[in-house]
Amino acid sequence: MTNILIIGANGGIGRQSTDLALKTNHHVTAVLRDPAKLPLTLTNLTIVKGDILHPETYQQYLPATDLVISAIGVSGGLGSDKPTTLYSAGNATLIKAMKQAGTKRVFFISASAIEISPVLPFYARFAAKFILQKLLKHMYADITTMEALIKKSDLDWTIIRPPRLTDKAMTGHYRVAINTFLKNSLKVSRSDLAHFMIHNANNEAIYKAVVEIGY
Protein backbone atom coordinates (compact mmCIF):
# COMPACT_ATOMS: atom_id res chain seq x y z
CA MET A 1 0.00 0.00 0.00
CA THR A 2 1.26 3.45 -0.96
CA ASN A 3 0.31 6.54 1.01
CA ILE A 4 -0.84 9.16 -1.50
CA LEU A 5 -1.65 12.75 -0.60
CA ILE A 6 -3.85 14.51 -3.16
CA ILE A 7 -4.35 18.26 -2.99
CA GLY A 8 -7.51 19.36 -4.76
CA ALA A 9 -9.05 15.92 -4.36
CA ASN A 10 -12.54 17.04 -5.34
CA GLY A 11 -11.56 18.55 -8.71
CA GLY A 12 -11.68 16.76 -12.04
CA ILE A 13 -8.21 15.21 -12.02
CA GLY A 14 -8.05 15.09 -8.23
CA ARG A 15 -11.29 13.14 -7.88
CA GLN A 16 -10.31 10.67 -10.59
CA SER A 17 -6.94 10.16 -8.90
CA THR A 18 -8.60 9.71 -5.52
CA ASP A 19 -11.11 7.17 -6.79
CA LEU A 20 -8.50 5.13 -8.66
CA ALA A 21 -6.02 5.15 -5.78
CA LEU A 22 -8.70 3.93 -3.40
CA LYS A 23 -9.82 1.20 -5.81
CA THR A 24 -6.24 -0.04 -6.14
CA ASN A 25 -5.86 -0.31 -2.35
CA HIS A 26 -3.65 2.68 -1.67
CA HIS A 27 -4.26 4.92 1.30
CA VAL A 28 -5.33 8.41 0.27
CA THR A 29 -5.10 11.62 2.25
CA ALA A 30 -7.49 13.91 0.39
CA VAL A 31 -6.84 17.60 0.97
CA LEU A 32 -9.60 19.98 -0.07
CA ARG A 33 -11.09 23.23 1.08
CA ASP A 34 -14.59 21.84 1.56
CA PRO A 35 -14.68 18.21 2.77
CA ALA A 36 -18.42 18.08 2.08
CA LYS A 37 -17.55 17.92 -1.62
CA LEU A 38 -15.98 14.48 -1.15
CA PRO A 39 -18.79 12.44 0.47
CA LEU A 40 -16.85 9.20 0.94
CA THR A 41 -16.25 7.09 4.04
CA LEU A 42 -13.59 4.42 3.57
CA THR A 43 -11.00 2.88 5.86
CA ASN A 44 -8.16 3.80 3.48
CA LEU A 45 -9.25 7.42 3.10
CA THR A 46 -8.39 10.39 5.30
CA ILE A 47 -10.17 13.62 4.41
CA VAL A 48 -8.43 16.84 5.42
CA LYS A 49 -9.84 20.34 5.30
CA GLY A 50 -6.89 22.19 3.89
CA ASP A 51 -5.48 24.67 1.43
CA ILE A 52 -2.23 24.38 -0.55
CA LEU A 53 -1.38 27.96 0.40
CA HIS A 54 -1.61 27.06 4.10
CA PRO A 55 0.79 24.17 4.72
CA GLU A 56 -0.10 23.99 8.38
CA THR A 57 -3.38 22.40 7.29
CA TYR A 58 -1.72 19.38 5.70
CA GLN A 59 1.98 19.32 6.60
CA GLN A 60 1.55 16.83 9.44
CA TYR A 61 0.57 14.17 6.87
CA LEU A 62 3.58 14.67 4.59
CA PRO A 63 6.24 12.65 6.49
CA ALA A 64 4.22 9.43 6.01
CA THR A 65 3.40 10.22 2.38
CA ASP A 66 4.99 8.28 -0.49
CA LEU A 67 3.47 10.31 -3.32
CA VAL A 68 1.95 13.77 -3.59
CA ILE A 69 -0.38 14.77 -6.42
CA SER A 70 -0.97 18.50 -6.80
CA ALA A 71 -4.27 18.70 -8.64
CA ILE A 72 -5.12 22.30 -7.90
CA GLY A 73 -6.79 24.53 -10.45
CA VAL A 74 -8.58 27.82 -10.84
CA SER A 75 -12.30 27.89 -11.52
CA GLY A 76 -13.69 29.07 -14.82
CA GLY A 77 -12.00 28.45 -18.13
CA LEU A 78 -12.08 29.96 -21.59
CA GLY A 79 -13.59 33.41 -21.40
CA SER A 80 -13.13 33.78 -17.64
CA ASP A 81 -9.35 34.00 -17.34
CA LYS A 82 -8.16 36.26 -14.55
CA PRO A 83 -4.75 37.08 -13.07
CA THR A 84 -3.75 34.34 -10.64
CA THR A 85 -0.79 33.14 -8.61
CA LEU A 86 -2.45 29.95 -7.35
CA TYR A 87 -0.27 27.60 -9.39
CA SER A 88 3.06 29.28 -8.69
CA ALA A 89 2.50 30.42 -5.10
CA GLY A 90 0.55 27.33 -4.13
CA ASN A 91 3.06 24.85 -5.46
CA ALA A 92 6.01 26.88 -4.16
CA THR A 93 4.44 26.51 -0.73
CA LEU A 94 3.96 22.78 -1.30
CA ILE A 95 7.57 22.32 -2.43
CA LYS A 96 8.82 24.03 0.73
CA ALA A 97 6.54 21.93 2.93
CA MET A 98 7.65 18.71 1.23
CA LYS A 99 11.31 19.62 1.65
CA GLN A 100 10.79 20.26 5.36
CA ALA A 101 8.97 16.91 5.74
CA GLY A 102 11.53 14.94 3.72
CA THR A 103 8.91 13.86 1.16
CA LYS A 104 10.29 13.64 -2.38
CA ARG A 105 7.86 12.22 -4.96
CA VAL A 106 5.30 14.54 -6.54
CA PHE A 107 3.23 15.08 -9.67
CA PHE A 108 2.29 18.57 -10.89
CA ILE A 109 -0.35 19.26 -13.54
CA SER A 110 0.56 21.77 -16.23
CA ALA A 111 -0.89 22.27 -19.75
CA SER A 112 0.44 21.28 -23.16
CA ALA A 113 -0.55 24.55 -24.82
CA ILE A 114 1.81 26.70 -22.75
CA GLU A 115 4.39 25.75 -25.38
CA ILE A 116 3.53 25.36 -29.06
CA SER A 117 4.28 21.79 -30.08
CA PRO A 118 5.91 21.52 -33.53
CA VAL A 119 4.49 18.01 -34.01
CA LEU A 120 0.83 18.95 -33.78
CA PRO A 121 -1.35 19.46 -36.86
CA PHE A 122 -1.38 23.02 -38.19
CA TYR A 123 -4.90 23.73 -36.97
CA ALA A 124 -4.01 22.61 -33.43
CA ARG A 125 -0.90 24.81 -33.38
CA PHE A 126 -2.97 27.73 -34.66
CA ALA A 127 -5.61 27.17 -31.97
CA ALA A 128 -2.99 26.90 -29.23
CA LYS A 129 -1.20 30.11 -30.24
CA PHE A 130 -4.07 32.35 -31.25
CA ILE A 131 -6.93 31.05 -29.11
CA LEU A 132 -5.78 29.19 -26.01
CA GLN A 133 -2.72 31.30 -25.28
CA LYS A 134 -4.79 34.47 -25.76
CA LEU A 135 -7.87 33.43 -23.79
CA LEU A 136 -5.90 31.78 -20.96
CA LYS A 137 -2.91 34.12 -20.89
CA HIS A 138 -3.07 34.76 -17.14
CA MET A 139 -3.41 31.10 -16.20
CA TYR A 140 -0.68 30.03 -18.63
CA ALA A 141 1.64 32.76 -17.38
CA ASP A 142 1.28 31.48 -13.84
CA ILE A 143 1.71 27.86 -14.91
CA THR A 144 4.91 28.84 -16.72
CA THR A 145 6.19 30.44 -13.52
CA MET A 146 5.15 27.30 -11.64
CA GLU A 147 7.13 25.04 -13.96
CA ALA A 148 10.25 27.15 -13.50
CA LEU A 149 9.94 26.87 -9.72
CA ILE A 150 9.44 23.12 -9.87
CA LYS A 151 12.48 22.59 -12.09
CA LYS A 152 14.69 24.36 -9.57
CA SER A 153 13.59 22.07 -6.74
CA ASP A 154 15.41 18.92 -5.64
CA LEU A 155 12.21 16.88 -5.37
CA ASP A 156 11.53 13.80 -7.51
CA TRP A 157 9.02 15.77 -9.54
CA THR A 158 7.09 15.03 -12.70
CA ILE A 159 5.33 17.78 -14.60
CA ILE A 160 2.47 16.49 -16.73
CA ARG A 161 1.31 18.55 -19.69
CA PRO A 162 -2.03 17.18 -20.87
CA PRO A 163 -3.86 18.41 -23.97
CA ARG A 164 -7.64 18.90 -23.94
CA LEU A 165 -9.10 17.04 -20.99
CA THR A 166 -12.29 15.02 -21.28
CA ASP A 167 -14.58 13.19 -18.87
CA LYS A 168 -14.51 9.94 -20.84
CA ALA A 169 -14.06 6.59 -19.10
CA MET A 170 -10.63 5.25 -18.28
CA THR A 171 -9.07 3.09 -20.99
CA GLY A 172 -5.54 2.55 -19.69
CA HIS A 173 -4.34 3.06 -23.27
CA TYR A 174 -2.51 6.30 -24.08
CA ARG A 175 0.82 7.55 -25.36
CA VAL A 176 3.45 9.54 -23.49
CA ALA A 177 6.54 11.52 -24.43
CA ILE A 178 9.24 12.30 -21.87
CA ASN A 179 11.01 15.65 -22.18
CA THR A 180 9.84 16.02 -25.75
CA PHE A 181 6.65 16.67 -27.70
CA LEU A 182 4.02 13.98 -28.27
CA LYS A 183 2.95 13.84 -31.90
CA ASN A 184 -0.73 14.52 -32.60
CA SER A 185 -1.62 14.67 -28.91
CA LEU A 186 -5.01 16.35 -28.95
CA LYS A 187 -6.92 14.99 -25.96
CA VAL A 188 -6.89 12.65 -22.99
CA SER A 189 -9.42 11.82 -20.31
CA ARG A 190 -8.95 12.90 -16.72
CA SER A 191 -9.37 9.28 -15.71
CA ASP A 192 -6.51 8.13 -17.95
CA LEU A 193 -4.33 10.96 -16.68
CA ALA A 194 -5.04 9.69 -13.16
CA HIS A 195 -4.25 6.15 -14.31
CA PHE A 196 -0.83 7.26 -15.53
CA MET A 197 0.06 8.98 -12.27
CA ILE A 198 -1.09 6.20 -9.96
CA HIS A 199 0.68 3.53 -12.03
CA ASN A 200 3.91 5.51 -12.42
CA ALA A 201 4.43 6.65 -8.87
CA ASN A 202 7.81 4.91 -8.67
CA ASN A 203 8.87 5.19 -12.30
CA GLU A 204 12.31 6.77 -12.04
CA ALA A 205 12.39 7.36 -15.80
CA ILE A 206 10.01 10.28 -15.27
CA TYR A 207 11.67 11.77 -12.20
CA LYS A 208 12.61 15.41 -12.86
CA ALA A 209 10.91 15.20 -16.26
CA VAL A 210 8.14 16.85 -18.26
CA VAL A 211 5.65 14.35 -19.66
CA GLU A 212 3.13 14.90 -22.43
CA ILE A 213 0.25 12.43 -22.51
CA GLY A 214 -2.52 11.80 -25.02
CA TYR A 215 -4.22 9.26 -27.24
Residue 79 has pLDDT above 90, yes or no: no
How many percent of the chain have pLDDT more than 70?
99
Structural domain boundaries of the chain?
3-214
Q: Using 50, 70 and 90 to split pLDDT, how confident is the model at 77?
A: confident
Q: Using 50, 70 and 90 to split pLDDT, how confident is the model at 60?
A: very high
Report phi then psi at 158, rounded to 5.
-135, 125
Residue 167: exposure state from Cβ atoms within 10 A (0-12, 13-18, ≥19): exposed
Furthest CA-CA distance within the chain:
49
pLDDT tens across 1-45, in order? 699 999 999 999 999 999 999 999 999 999 999 999 999 999 999
Average pLDDT score over the chain: 96
What is the pLDDT at residue 72? 97
Q: CA 155, CA 89: separation in Å to the nearest integer?
A: 17
Alpha-carbon distances of 158 from 81, 151, 183, rounded to whole Å: 26, 9, 20
Q: Which fold has domain 3-214?
A: Rossmann fold (3.40.50)
What is the pLDDT at residue 75? 80
Q: Are 35 and 10 in contact (CB under 8 A)?
A: no
pLDDT tens across 174-196, in order? 999 999 999 999 999 999 999 99
Q: Using 50, 70 and 90 to split pLDDT, how confident is the model at 78?
A: confident
One-letter amino acid for residue 87 of the chain: Y
pLDDT tens across 142-179, in order? 999 999 999 999 999 999 999 999 999 999 999 999 99
Q: Using 50, 70 and 90 to split pLDDT, how confident is the model at 83?
A: very high
Least confident of 74-83, 91-100, 116-125: 74-83
Q: Are 44 and 26 in contact (CB under 8 A)?
A: yes
Residue 59 has pLDDT above 90, yes or no: yes
Q: CA 6, CA 40: separation in Å to the nearest integer?
A: 15
